[in-house]
Amino acid sequence: METKIIQFTAAKGPAECAWVVAKVLKLFLKELINNKIAYQIIHKENGIENGTVQSVSLEIKGKQLPVFLNDWLGSIQWIGTSIFRKYNKRKNWFIGCYELHQFQQKNIHENEIQFQAIRSSGAGGQHVNKVSSAIRAKHIPTGTQVLVMDSRSQHQNKKIAIERLKEKIRVHNTNQLKISVKNEWENHLSLERGNPVRIFTGSDFKQKKKEKFFKATRNQLKNDLRKQIK
């Protein structure tokens, strides 16, 4: 099982590009589901117009992700008329799809946890006050700690403490991931407007086959070759 962080961005493009991001995102999520790839949206920047997305980042998990992403990573083109500016003559709009660098996630290992038995406090009678059944657990690498006094059993409280530490670390990882994604602004500045990996056309976003896109280029190369031979 592989994990990757993917970002769709309109870069510094206008509202039309942010609208394309929102449309392409829906198609991308549909393909993820069809390919049984799990995902979660970890950061999203809405555009200035309703129904637009300036940037969105997702964590995806599944098998053979490089193969799946082969036709997605790069610039994506939409050919169509602006829905925001009626008289705009521009027909070609570009967005970017990138793989982001992953930060090193923190995992919990029991040999990294420091346990301290302390006396429970609160209701429970004399037994609770005399027996050191509560557990304070600290994850040394991150400094994350919890105090558990749910049970009169020290062993049971220790098990609960480990699970609660794991949950806290998961939240810590998610927050760090959001910060990492938000800092990757270079993708917003380096969008290549050309040589798209995918081309969509019209308001229904039909995908244009690559073969058709490269046909004109091949014909041009043939013509240039003929001229050189002459």
- Residue 152 falls within a domain, yes or no? yes
Say if residue 24 is in the same domain as residue 58: yes
Say if residue 152 is in the same domain as residue 124: yes
Say if residue 115 is in the same domain as residue 159: yes
- Residue 179 falls within a domain, yes or no? no
Domain count, the chain: 2
**pLDDT of res. 128:** 47
pLDDT: is 201 or 229 the higher one? 201
Say if residue 8 is in the same domain as residue 95: yes
Q: At 206, phi and psi to the nearest 5?
A: -75, 140
C-alpha distances in Å from residue 108, one per residue of 20, 139, 167, 171: 40, 8, 10, 13
**CATH number for 55:** 3.30.70.1660
**CATH number for 126:** 3.30.160.20
Residues sharing a CB contact under 8 Å with residue 119, sequence separation 6 or more, in sequence order: 129, 130, 131, 132, 133, 134
Share of the chain above pLDDT 90, in %: 46
Overall average pLDDT of the 134-141 stretch: 90
Say if residue 118 is in the same domain as residue 97: no
Say if residue 155 is in the same domain as residue 192: no
- Give pLDDT tens digits for 138-189: 988 888 899 998 888 888 999 999 999 888 887 877 777 666 666 665 555 5
Residue 114 structural domain:
110-172
> What is the SS3 assignment for 147?
strand
How much is the pTM?
Answer: 0.61
Say if residue 6 is in the same domain as residue 95: yes
- Give pLDDT tens digits for 53-110: 999 999 999 999 999 999 899 999 999 999 999 899 999 999 999 888 765 556 678 8
